[in-house]
Structure formats: C-alpha cells, structure tokens
Structure 1
C-alpha cells in the first residue's frame, strides 16, 4: 500500500481525525492562554489523551506522523552550526556514560516491574528497558511478553517525560522553554530558493533515511540532509513557523491518540505503576547529568535532556526551544535506542537462562 493510497477515504478516518485535531487545537489554545510551555505539542497531546480516555471518537492514523517528522527534521537540521563539529569531542564521556546509565536504570526498572508490578519476566524486561516503543513491543512479544502492557508502559513513559521536562528543566537551572520551538520566518517570508532547499532536503532526507534504515528515518534523514546544507552555507532558512506549529500540533495529537481503546481503569492502574519507573529513569538521568557536568565542560541541563527517557522527536523539539545543541541531544537518543535494540535480546536470553538454571537447582 502506497502512502497516497493510505489517505483514501476508505482507509483514512477523516471525521475522527478532524475531531482529534479540533480537540488538540483547544488544548493548544488553553496552553497559550495559560502561558504554559510548548503549547502546540503538549496542549494537543494532553487534550487528546483525555479525549481518548473518556472514549470520544478521536483517531490519528500513524500515516500522518511521517510528514510531520520530516518538517521537524528539516527544522532541527537548520540549527546545526559550523562550530558544532569542533565540540563533538566533548561528547565522548557522556556517550560512554550513557551505557552505564542504561545498565543501571534498566536493571532498576526491570526489578521494579517484577517485584512491585508483578509482571512476568519478558513483560517486565521489555517494559523496563528505555528503548524505542515499537522495538520493545516487537521484541517483547516475540519473547512471550504482554505486548499491550509493554506498549502502554512505554507510551506512558513518553507522555510523562514530555509533560514533565518543560517544568523540570527550569528547576535544573535551564531557561524557560516558552511557547514553541519555531524559529523560522512567517509563511510567505522566505524566498523561492529557500523553499526549494527546504523541500529538497526533506524529500531527499526521508528517502535516504528509509534506504539507510535509520532509526526514526523520517526525522533523522531530513535532519542530516538539512544539517549538511546549512553547515555548507547553501541556505540559512528554517521552515516557516506556521508549518512548524502545525507539525507540532499533529505530533501532539498522534501521541495523545495512542491511548484510544485503553480502558480508563487499565490506564490508571498502569499510570500509577509507570510513575515509579518514570521516577527511577528521570532521577537516574538527573544524577548522571550532575556527575558528568562535574567531569566535563557540558552543563547539567544539556546532559539531563540527552539522557531523559523521552522520544527522539519530542526531546529534540524541547532542545531546540531551549537553544541547546540539537545534534548533541539527538545523538545521545539515537545511541540509546540503538544500544537497547542491539543488547536487549541477548541480555534477555542470558537473564532467562540464569533464571531457569536457578529454578532447576
């Protein structure tokens, strides 16, 4: 099925998606009125989460997410600067520390879901590993875990992280995230040449991301392509802010609509349990951030955001809003997902064999 055919009325639920966008827009308006951070993403996300839980007929087909990720990827790439390359050597200690962080926080979360949550080993293991949602669900299901429970835990983890970070960052000494991450000119303010560069890097980047099988290809491919042309000085334009606002709105709607079909009682039960694992992950991230900030030239806020257990897209948008080096944050989240994907299955086999040998003795 091609992408265009996925938007055929027989396959795409336009009325429910329109309702979801409307509710997301109301959430955004409420956030803007209250002056709360990242209204286009957070407001839409929380409003659609509530709509899903009270069983309103909302829906956001996942096919709408890739085009929005392309827009945000081009935006993130536009923040790359020439002096960024000279600072990459300072990232080595934090990338090395990331492996220890994953071992410590992952082991603590798995133990938490086993002892406190009463989950079976496969479900506890893949729910506790701070990897990508889809990857952990597929690996967990293949190992006999409860796929729905794993998906719900990771969805709540991302929801909590994205909701918490805009308020946690100022407490760590960071700046105010403000009302958005759009830094481009108003729509219509860019030249035709700049628009063609933005479209070209988005399309080419998406194709390369798929061909190279990058994690989050529709975000990383355009981000790399956009970053390359901006570093080369071929263009200095970012996507128009109105388009970025729409992309954040749709992203927030898709995040909130992940909970469609979830019974409120199940959501509440898993939310309460997931709060414990979230505290473990975010506390570990902050502790590692303070330790690494003392050992490196990097600041606590940058490292905490790089280690935060959220999604790549969401944390990158927050980094841009805070004017933190997007490449630094994105690189750590890519490495986190790749490390967990590569190590999760082998480590699980070792843990499972050890458990079985202990039971047979």
Structure 2
C-alpha cells in the first residue's frame, strides 16, 4: 500500500471513529443500552452504508487499533472477577450447573433457527447462534469462513434485542423502569483510579497479551488481558482500575470497526437478520424464563433475578438491571461470565476441530 493510500485509509478510519463518538453521544442522550458501543456501531454502519463508495478501495478499519482496544474490553470484563465473586461460587453450584445446560440448549435452539428457518450455511449459522461471546464469535467465525456481515449483524442484534426487550418486559411486570430506562449508570470502572492501580492494570494487560500470544489462546487479545485482570484482583494486587474515558474510547473504536464491516449490507439483508434475531432471542428468552421459574423454588432466588442471570445479553447492561432491582450485580455478573466463558470454550474447541465444516 502506498503512502497516499495509507493516508486516505487513516483519514477514513479517523472519520468513522469521530462519527462513532458522535453516535455514542446521541445514543446516550436517547437512553439506549450500551450507548457508546451501539451508537458508534450504528453511526459507522450508516456512513459505510450510504457513502461506502467514497471510502478508499479495499478499505478495512486499522486492525492494530481495533485489537488494542479489544484488550481494554478484556481488562474491563476481567475487572469484574473479584474476591467477592469467588466466595459466592460454592453457593451457586445449582444455578451454574443449570446455566451450563441452558447454554447448550439455547445454542442448539438458536442454531436451528438460523440453519433451518434462515437457511444460513452451517458455519455462519453456528457462530450466529452463540448465546454469548460476541467478539470471540465474530473473530473465530470469520477465521472459520462464516459470512462476516451476517455474523456481525446477528451477534449485535442479539445484544441489542436482549438489552432492549428484557428491561422493557421487566418494567411492564414490575411497574417501574429498570436498567438504562431508569437512568441507572452505576460507578464507572475508573471511579477510583490511582496511579498505581492504572499502572498495574496496564502492565497486567500487556503481560496477558504476551502470554496469550505465546500460548496461542483463541481470541487472545481479549482473553489474555481478561485473565490477567482477574488474576490481579484475586491475588490481592488489585483492584483493577480503568479510567471511564478509556473504557468509553474502547467501545467507540470497537463499535466503529465493526460498523465498518457493514460495507455492502443491504436493507433487505438487515430486515431478514432482524426477523431471525427476534425469533432466536425470543426462543432463548423463553427458555431462560422457564429455567428461572424452575430454579426459583430450588435456590430461593427471585424469578426476575434468575431471568436476568440467564438472559443472553451484555454483562454491563444486565448488571445495571440487577442493580435497579436491588439484586446483587456480582451474582448476575458471575453467571454471565460463566455463560460467556463456557460459550468461548465450546466455539474454541469447535474452531480447533474445524466443526462445523
């Protein structure tokens, strides 16, 4: 690539990122869930959809920039693995075991929707159907030969639909707004950032990246920092601390980079994906509701708390919903980390074994 082409690519990436920041700001004003991520994705996708022909030929969002901020997302998730979560683990054996069964069943049911109803090829249907692990599903699915535009659409539609429909449903049941609709923000990850905390967090992220690369971990740019941050917290060298601005920047960059993948997506493709997403999410939420009702009598936990813990949505938004209901965000977070971790293990093994072919 010539210097001129590199310059145009850099300027295009900068423009998409700036548009993503603006989209995130607007989404935040509108009270949407995951505003910086979803708003950035929507703005970037809109630009490439309407003006993709003006982008440099063969344009791709700069990979090093994207991977760097995916590492920040890994640190953010790993920061939620605290000693408090570890002490609660023995008492959650029943619900976690049920969650493992639910994850497998939801995966299979969603696969049937995309393969049978949607007619997607087996590889694309498999990675579209994952009930968690958005970034890992996209990265491993792309490497396995899945249709990246369909896969990106379906994975983000899963998050969007769950974090929109579930709080709305609970709001109707409870008679009061919950989650993002209630204006709950929670303490940002960097609320008590200290120089030592920030330095140790960034150092842990660098160590995690290097270790993941040497061990050839799947989705290592996310999993390595995640495990390093968790280790930092659990060994007492934490707490992991990230400035809120860095976490926001990571969501903007990741959203803009994924929005850029929508280059060439048609309105017909989007409509079809949304329809399939509604069916898939509807089936998984119905299964989560059934599991929550069955487990409530056994565990003594409220049905709505268990439903939030099982719902295949984002960790952050589900924790906000739990907070607004007076439930323990730590318990909800642990269930979501377990579901995501199990899903990542499943698709990582499948990727190694080249399943499905």
Which range moves more in the overlay, 232-241 or 289-298?
289-298
Match of 1:224 among 227, 232, 243: 227
Kept in 2, the 8 Å contact 1:181–1:320? The answer is: no
Question: Structure 2 unaligned runs (5+)?
Answer: 324-328
Which range moves more in the overlay, 101-110 or 155-164?
101-110
Alignment of 1:12-91 (within 5 A): 13-56=9-52, 57=54, 60-91=61-92
Over residues 293-341 of structure 1, what are the superposed CA-to-partner deviations in whole Å (9 max), with x where a residue is unaligned? 443355556654554445xxxx234355556233442222111231244
Which range moves more in the overlay, 269-278 or 301-310?
301-310
Which range moves more in the overlay, 191-200 or 17-26?
191-200
For 2:36 and 2:288, the matched residues in 1 are separated by: 26
For 1:68 and 1:81, the matched residues in 2 are separated by: 22
Rate the CA distance shift 1:299–1:71 in 2: closer, same or farther, 3 A: farther
Which range moves more in the overlay, 29-38 or 50-59?
50-59
Other-structure match for 1:318: 317
For 2:61 and 2:189, the matched residues in 1 are separated by: 27
Alignment of 1:276-315 (within 5 A): 276-296=279-299, 300=303, 303-304=306-307, 307-309=310-312, 315=314
After TM superposition, give the deviation of residue 40 of structure 1 in Å.
1.4
Match of 2:190 among 167, 180, 184: 184
SS at match of 1:80: coil
SS at match of 1:206: helix
Match of 1:161 among 158, 161, 164: 158
Other-structure match for 2:326: none
After TM superposition, give the deviation of residue 214 of structure 1 in Å.
3.7
For 1:230 and 1:120, the matched residues in 2 are separated by: 42
For 2:345 and 2:240, the matched residues in 1 are separated by: 31
For 1:213 and 1:347, the matched residues in 2 are separated by: 16
For 2:122 and 2:240, the matched residues in 1 are separated by: 50
Alignment of 1:208-357 (within 5 A): 208-236=211-239, 238-296=241-299, 300=303, 303-304=306-307, 307-309=310-312, 315-319=314-318, 321=320, 324-325=329-330, 326-342=333-349
SS at match of 1:54: helix
Other-structure match for 2:140: 135
Kept in 2, the 8 Å contact 1:109–1:280? The answer is: yes
Kept in 1, the 8 Å contact 2:20–2:256? The answer is: yes
Q: In the comparison of the two structures, how many residue pairs are matched?
A: 330
Q: TM-score, normalised by structure 2?
A: 0.75
Q: TM-score, normalised by structure 1?
A: 0.74
What RMSD, in angstroms, separates the aligned Cα atoms of the two structures? 3.7
Counterpart check, 1:202 vs 2:205: yes
Rate the CA distance shift 1:122–1:234 in 2: closer, same or farther, 3 A: closer
Kept in 2, the 8 Å contact 1:24–1:44? The answer is: yes
After TM superposition, give the deviation of residue 84 of structure 1 in Å.
1.9
Rate the CA distance shift 1:238–1:9 in 2: closer, same or farther, 3 A: farther
Which range moves more in the overlay, 215-224 or 320-329?
320-329
SS at match of 1:183: coil
Question: Structure 1 unaligned runs (5+)?
Answer: 142-146, 353-361
SS at match of 2:89: helix
Rate the CA distance shift 1:305–1:334 in 2: closer, same or farther, 3 A: farther
